[in-house]
């Protein structure tokens, strides 16, 4: 069984991406407190696909408190310099908006990148490695 549930705050406003194959996606990081009395947090990468991604971008901004349920996914990619990078993320299957915050200044939606590269700090999963 591969099920993960977390509650935390978005560290920045999610941005919607339209990929070349016509799918929509957003990725963001959620800060999850380690304990009630501690100032320490874990930072968890989350990826959402499709209509759920569009809804999340519409209603959530930096600081929004969200409850997330999904599955853990690990993948790797190779940087231009030849370095192998491993990424562990939650592929979100359900998200609850517990306390939404106003989005940052409206920014234009990103259009497909013809080079199939991403400027987000965590790259998009290549089409041949999409989660099933």
Asked if residue 120 lies in contact with residue 19, where contact means CB atoms within 8 angstroms, the answer is no
| Alpha-carbon span 72 to 129, nearest angstrom | 15
H or E stretch at 44: strand 41-49
Please list the residues that pair with 121 across neighbouring strands: none
Give 75-98 pLDDT, tens digit per residue: 999 998 999 999 999 999 999 999
3-class SS of residue 33: strand
Give 13-55 pLDDT, tens digit per residue: 999 999 988 899 999 999 999 887 778 999 999 999 999 999 9
- pTM of this prediction? 0.73
């Amino acid at each position: 069984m591969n099920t993960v549930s977390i509650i935390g705050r978005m560290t920045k406003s999610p941005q919607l991406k339209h990929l070349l194959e016509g799918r929509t996606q957003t990725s963001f990081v959620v800060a999850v407190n380690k304990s009630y009395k501690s100032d320490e947090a874990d930072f968890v990468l989350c990826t959402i696909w499709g209509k759920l991604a569009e809804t999340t971008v519409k209603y959530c901004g930096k600081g929004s408190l969200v409850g997330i349920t999904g599955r853990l996914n690990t993948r790797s990619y190779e940087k231009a310099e030849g370095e192998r990078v491993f990424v562990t993320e939650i592929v979100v299957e359900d998200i609850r908006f517990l306390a939404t915050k106003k989005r940052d200044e409206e920014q234009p939606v990103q259009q497909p990148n013809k080079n199939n590269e991403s400027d987000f700090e965590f790259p998009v999963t290549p089409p041949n490695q999409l989660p099933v």
